[in-house]
Amino acid sequence: MITRIKNLFAGYAVPVDAVVDEGEQALQLATATLLMEVARADTHISDEERQAICDAIETHYGLSHETTRQIIRTAEHEAEHSTSLYPFTRLINRECDYQDKLEIIRMLWRVIRADDCTDKHEEHLVRRVADLLHVPHREFIRAKLLALET
């Protein structure tokens, strides 16, 4: 997985302020790809969803706007060509603690709610990701309710 992500990033020039270890880059890309996948679930990525993805990645990982945009471009390419969520969730399970996984589920819900429309395919995908990240159903529902309140 790390080699594959390195190869993806090789096609995109990463600015100097984005110098992080490969594991951190892989985690950022995995998270961004899951966010992009949920935005794509209803077959249309709105501008609001794109902005929510950028905001989530930039804020959560403390990245510059330019670095975030490059990660998002790479994640969009990866989401279009991936056939499984498993490589991304496996990496997150290996690298993240339970609180980080909860935050990823919350980010997924914020992306869904960015356009004020929750599609059944988007919700189903978040449920699948929550299962793959070993996040209990009650936390999935709690994250959903919090997203609906904002």
Q: Tell me the pLDDT tens digit for each residue of 20-43.
A: 578 899 999 999 999 999 999 988
pLDDT digits (tens, 9 = 90+) for 97-147: 999 999 999 999 999 999 888 889 999 999 999 999 999 999 999 999 988
With CA atoms as reference, report the closest residue to 67 among 6, 13, 5.
13
Q: Could you tell me the domains of the chain? A: 2-149 (1.10.3680.10)
Single pTM value for the model:
0.84
